[in-house]
Each structure stands twice: as C-alpha cells, then as structure tokens.
Chain A
Amino acid sequence: DAKTTQPNSMESNEEEPVHLPCNHSTISGTDYIHWYRQLPSQGPEYVIHGLTSNVNNRMASLAIAEDRKSSTLILHRATLRDAAVYYCILRDNNQGGKLIFGQGTELSVKP
C-alpha cells in the first residue's frame, strides 16, 4: 500500500489561509490523491481528490506537484469549524477502491 507522510499537527489563525502538506514519494501512476477530514466525534468527510492537475472545489484547493510526489491541501480562509484531523490518502482502484488512512494532520484554528 502506498504511504503518505504528513505533519502530526498544525496551527492556524481564523480567516487566514492554511496549507497542509503531504508527501507521497512512492505514488504509482494509478493512484489518486484523496483528502478527507474528521471533525471531533464524526465520521471522515471527503474534502477533495485529484490525479495530476490542481483541483478546486467549494471546500478547498488541491495543489499537486509536477512529479506527483507531494501535494498540498489549501483552505483559503480557515474557520473554527475547520479544526479537524486531515488525512492525505492514495487510492488505488486496483485494490478494490479502499482508502488506507495514515495518521493525518491535526489542524487547530485559533480565533
């Protein structure tokens, strides 16, 4: 299973942008990069995913390095509600579509 490496924790101020990094140097050509987050006492929630190109949606942006060995999740304006554990995951459709979760980054947002 391809692995990802993320910082254990990060802090941000409310209303400021947050850049959450992820390294995945062993990524294969068929791996999609997925980001999920888990708010306290809730199930994981999908944030965004991509393959090669940068992606934007209403929640966040995903910047993928040209060699695909790293990516960055960008929250444009952090709110208190964004405090959660953020997981960067490689999803290989050749492995039954499962997500292999790592330790994630615990994001705290200060008012």
Chain B
Amino acid sequence: DTAVSQTPKYLVTQMGNDKSIKCEQNLGHDTMYWYKQDSKKFLKIMFSYNNKELIINETVPNRFSPKSPDKAHLNLHINSLELGDSAVYFCASSLGTRDTGELFFGEGSRLTVL
C-alpha cells in the first residue's frame, strides 16, 4: 500500500494546455507539499498545505494552483503550460508543520511540455 501516491506518473502535453497532477497520502498526515525537480536535478519547494490551508507559496507563478479538497489530498493544476514547466513534480507529506520527523515523498510525476 503506497503511502504517498501521485497520478499520472508521466504526462506529455503541448504548450498552452492545462493539466493536473493528483496526490494522495494514506498516512493520516496533516501537512502536504509540492516540490519541483528541474533538469539540473535541483529540488525546489513550491507549496505546502496544512489541514487544507495554504501555508507556503514560494513565489510560484499563478498559473500553478494547488487544491486540497481534504487533508489527504493535494492536487496541482497548471494552466497555460510553458516549456519551462517540464520537470518532475514530487508530492510529499509530513505529520505536521511543527513536527521534527521525516517527509514522505511520492515517486514523482514527470511532466514534458512540447
């Protein structure tokens, strides 16, 4: 049973399209995150939600809109896709914002914009 699962694993699309990536965690965690890993393998945090509330937004373009319907889900919707959006997107979760323990990451969703 996968702790943090993301769908789809691969996504190939044209510039200008709108796409979504879904994330679900079955760990009972309160906090979820989205990270982006670019072609240089640098991992950068994008968003964090705690109990469905946005708590971190790292100056991501507003074409990116996260949505948390409940604390087990954090979806990422991207409008008007650009070439530079091509990357691997990782979802993660943790107990809470103030815990000292680990983050659990999904396996990633590789987005390719043509």
Contact surface of A with B, Cβ cutoff 8 Å: 32, 34, 36, 38, 41-46, 49, 51, 85, 87, 91, 93, 95-101, 103
**A100 in contact with B100 (CB, 8 Å):** no
Report the bound CA distance from A14 to B96 in whole Å. 37
Q: Are B99 and A97 in contact (CB under 8 A)?
A: yes
Q: Are A96 and B55 in contact (CB under 8 A)?
A: yes
Number of A-B contacts (CB under 8 A): 60
Nearest-neighbour CB distance to chain B for A11, whole angstroms, equals: 18
A93 CB contact (under 8 Å) in B44, B90, B97:
B97
Instruction: Determine whether the beta carbon of A43 is less than 8 Å from that of B90.
Output: yes
Of the residues B48, B94, B102, B105, contact of A43 by C-beta under 8 Å: B105
Provide the main secondary structure of the chain A interface.
mixed
Alpha-carbon separation in the docked complex, A34 to B103 (Å): 10
Per the bound structure, the CA–CA distance linking A44 and B35 in Å amounts to 11
Q: Is B31 an interface residue (CB 8 A)?
A: yes
Q: Determine whether the beta carbon of A42 is less than 8 Å from that of B103.
A: no
Contact A97 B102 (CB under 8 A): no
Are A32 and B55 also in contact (CB < 8 A) when A44-B105, A85-B41, A98-B45 are?
Answer: no
